[in-house]
Amino acid sequence: MLVKAFPWIHGIHFDLPYVVAVGAKVDGVENIEGDMFECVPKAGTAFLMTWKGKERTLKEWKYVIGEAGFTRFNVEPIHAIQSVIEAYP
């Protein structure tokens, strides 16, 4: 988890109330109940994590990120199967 690797950052777990109610409490992460289709809390950075996505090539990610309105991105390898993608407006 990012807040464990980088303890100087602050994390937010924003999810539906019933998910937050049963979610684990993690140091450095604030749990906020809400519905992203109604309102999203203001933040300096946004992350989306999903386990039910599909694997994509770099070319496919470039297309998806561009279609979402981002003008540039960076893929940061980490010590795991996944990578971190930073996308910028």
Domain check: are 61 and 29 in the same one?
Answer: no
Domain check: are 53 and 87 in the same one?
Answer: yes
Determine the Cα–Cα distance for residues 68 and 63; give it in Å rounded to an integer: 9
Query: Using one digit for the tens of pLDDT, what is the confidence trace for 1-58?
Result: 678 878 888 888 888 999 999 988 889 899 999 888 888 777 766 666 666 667 888 8
User: Per the structure, how many domains does the chain have?
Assistant: 2
Copy the structure tokens of residue 15: 């999810």
Determine the Cα–Cα distance for residues 38 and 51; give it in Å rounded to an integer: 23
Copy the structure tokens of residue 80: 């795991």
Q: 66 lies in which domain range? A: 48-89
Domain check: are 35 and 67 in the same one?
Answer: no
Confidence (pTM): 0.48
Domain check: are 55 and 25 in the same one?
Answer: no
What does the pLDDT read at residue 1? 62
Copy the structure tokens of residue 10: 């602050």
Domain check: are 37 and 52 in the same one?
Answer: no
Domain check: are 1 and 30 in the same one?
Answer: yes
Domain check: are 33 and 8 in the same one?
Answer: yes
What are the helix (H) ranges across 1-89? Answer: 2-5, 17-22, 58-67
Q: Which residues pair with 72 in a beta bridge?
A: 88
